[in-house]
Structure 1
């Protein structure tokens, strides 16, 4: 059925009104909370470098299109502009959901309630509306002639959609190269350094590695903080059980269990409390209270706990040690181990480890190519370097003044995850060096190996796992490496010919 001119105009008017409402609302939402909008753009994997100009350009274009849609003579080019803008928004969401490792916040207003997938379908609906409006508008008489044929319009729209998608793709590729590639270093890969032994599906990505010793893996759950799962490396014996602590009344927010048999500890950090118990009954009593707030704790032994947190004196990241060798607790802090580059918090953020073989604490920075080594009493020993060349943190930190909150965007993460055993420090990094193929990491994680005795880089190897997933944590005991990847536990054996016989 061919629509007459009256119905065509009615449908075009309805479509135009919907776009006017959408763009006016969206633009006002951005402008009324402009600071939040800028922060969200600054965190974008694609647009962080252009956050300033985009934060002005997008609401301006939305308002301009809304005005042009009101004027009949400009409605056709305005609808084409609507189509182009919605394709840009949609391509952005597709890239974020399918190709980006970092998903930023959504936009403001009512649309903030939509998930990224719901937002995608919402945008596609408006793209269809724009196409319908353009086709109907193109058939309205202009100076006694039909404006153009549907085939020509479709071809033009395909070109517009392709150019918009290509523009976003180029932005993504250039951004990804900046974050993940560094041609200034080259790895030495050992083939088949880790042999696959087996895997186990946990069923949820809320699990974390709480400990690993004597062929038993201890797994905690962020959503069930007082429950543990044990799995042996043969994957034959699996057990779930509760853990008890002597005080449930404190306002815990991120309680975490760490196991170093025959003891285990439960700590929160937002509450300055640690509980200790034995693995034969899994009942923990108070070990330390009101001594220190912390972001991480690391078990050296049953009476010595290392801490990483924020100094109350310097307001920068520091290391601490709680000792309970006597009836009187001893708590020491060392503000001189971790070095400050900018704010002393984000720039010095990292991971704390305890190396049992050499009785050393190791603190590895997330955003620079170095790590610090201390003895068991937090006395500085030396600083080590990783093979990446980023020695000064490249941070994308935005401050929301109204909420007094800081948010991290696309900062360059040099060292993601760490583990240590024997003579070695193992570091997982997403950064690609010279001659490295990005597709190799589609189903594997890169592990760089450093010798903490000689303070040197040894080699690297791939840890293969399920495709398009990232390593969430790993631990090593003797010649067994365990890894957690998106709710799946992986078991590997380290080839003895590649590692120190001390393993």
Structure 2
């Protein structure tokens, strides 16, 4: 009773937020409006049945079935979908997925025990001996209820699961002699981010332990852990990022905010901010400059800018680089990078087929397009009035998952399946599209194979090396000679024509 009353009240007290969270799941998006109302009142009804002795057994069966459905839902979400499960609100919302699953299973067991106790009590009252036949009948009915509840969720998932969407409007040019994987290292942990790369070393950060950096040689043979030190006694960490551009490194957090800089010779970081400057993402450009994405006080929308770490740190913003389509926040989400060789700031939109190139002074140099045709961000934004917040109200169509840049090239991990691409290879690999920034056209594509069920989650390119993180593994691919010798002139001309026509 306490569980259901508390969960129902938590949902209704933040109903607008709960409805949005329901809509964020592919399984529940089509029924978000109905489910958001039905679930809390069904929980109240079950609690009422548990309160009244006459209906207590019915309440136990209802509780058993509902908790089985919740358990099956979370299990499917965790194992077969990338969507975030809906929140139950309150304290339960703070639980991790594993803890949430365990909690649900515990209440399934409690409901089972309750059904047995009430069933036994009823038999005692009527002075009937509880035979093994009655026990088998009870177990059989509970088994059928379990199968029915799980089956309902499985059918819901099967009918709402979105298959891989193929876009026949573009065709990729895959290399006849694709890059080959040359090294593979099991890092024994899947929470690393690539903080930076130089000719000899790869620097990995761990957001859960921001004061530690893992250094791996480019041959993936040796690994060492380094503890960073600070000139400050302590700092709160919320969304810290480590950036390494040898010989310097930066530890940043735009929500606190702080910017620390140090030298990789001693790995000691010194505070560089006297006045607070807030930002969402940062990318080191040189020893005294960071490129940032931040919320503009002028427009209440995201903008790109730079922070100069001189005697008095100063932020400069450009309100013209990012182009609003829906809300100026979610629709302009993307990947911020800096190309050291060409001294260019590059921003790749996540939900549309466009990337922006600007110089150090935030002057627009290029608006390029990826080869797909998704020019409008396909997102739905909802408002949580109680918190004065906006959130994604439904799963968005991701166009560009990630990107990296090196020399004259932009590498984009696309999430869209092109014309005539084998679905079997697509489901077991990640595709990388390569664009020439100098001539502004698409060059070619290649695959990066999954490891087990894990797909490419982050990558970096340095000259002839493609460095990727896949699950617990770090891999490197050899890219030598692929940029000049392997793309046919006919394909290059054809793809340039596609880009120019847009």
Q: Settle same-fold status: TM greater than 0.5.
A: yes
Alpha-carbon distance change, 351 to 164 in structure 1, aligned in 2, over 3 angstroms: same
What is the distance in 2 between the residues matched to 1:158 and 1:471?
A: 40
**CA offsets, 1:213-262, max 9 Å, x none?**
10310112223323322111222332322334444566554343211123
**CA offsets, 1:277-306, max 9 Å, x none?**
333333444555437422222233334432
Structure 2 counterpart of 1:144: none
Residue 318 (structure 1) shift: 1.1
Structure 2 counterpart of 1:48: 29
**Unaligned ranges ≥5, structure 2:** 125-132, 487-502
Structure 1 counterpart of 2:212: 227
Structure 1 counterpart of 2:248: 263
Does the 8 Å CA contact 2:417/2:426 hold for their aligned counterparts? no
The number of aligned residues is 477
Does the 8 Å CA contact 2:74/2:85 hold for their aligned counterparts? no
- Any idea what SS the aligned residue of 1:416 has? strand
Does the 8 Å CA contact 1:185/1:387 hold for their aligned counterparts? no
Map 1:6-45 to 2 at 5 A: 23=4, 26-45=7-26
Residue 211 (structure 1) shift: 0.6
What is the distance in 2 between the residues matched to 1:133 and 1:437?
A: 56
Match of 1:478 among 463, 466, 485: 463
Does the 8 Å CA contact 2:410/2:434 hold for their aligned counterparts? yes
Does the 8 Å CA contact 1:90/1:123 hold for their aligned counterparts? no
What is the distance in 1 between the residues matched to 2:260 and 2:427?
A: 40
Match of 2:333 among 344, 349, 352: 349
Alpha-carbon distance change, 332 to 501 in structure 1, aligned in 2, over 3 angstroms: farther
Does the 8 Å CA contact 2:399/2:416 hold for their aligned counterparts? yes
Match of 1:99 among 80, 104, 119: 80
Does the 8 Å CA contact 1:187/1:433 hold for their aligned counterparts? yes
Residue 398 (structure 1) shift: 4.3
Match of 1:371 among 345, 348, 355: 355
Alpha-carbon distance change, 476 to 112 in structure 1, aligned in 2, over 3 angstroms: closer
What is the distance in 2 between the residues matched to 1:101 and 1:359?
A: 36
Map 1:104-503 to 2 at 5 A: 104-108=85-89, 111-112=92-93, 115-122=99-106, 124-125=108-109, 128=112, 164-173=149-158, 175-177=160-162, 181-188=165-172, 189-190=174-175, 193-248=178-233, 253-271=238-256, 273-287=258-272, 289-290=274-275, 292-323=277-308, 331-408=315-392, 410-434=395-419, 440=425, 443-494=428-479, 496-500=480-484
What is the distance in 1 between the residues matched to 2:122 and 2:420?
A: 51
What is the distance in 1 between the residues matched to 2:431 and 2:145?
A: 39
Residue 437 (structure 1) shift: 6.0
CA RMSD, 1 decimal: 4.0
Residue 475 (structure 1) shift: 0.4
What is the distance in 2 between the residues matched to 1:248 and 1:203?
A: 31
Structure 1 counterpart of 2:499: none
What is the distance in 1 between the residues matched to 2:253 and 2:94?
A: 31
**Unaligned ranges ≥5, structure 1:** 1-19, 141-147
Residue 329 (structure 1) shift: 6.5
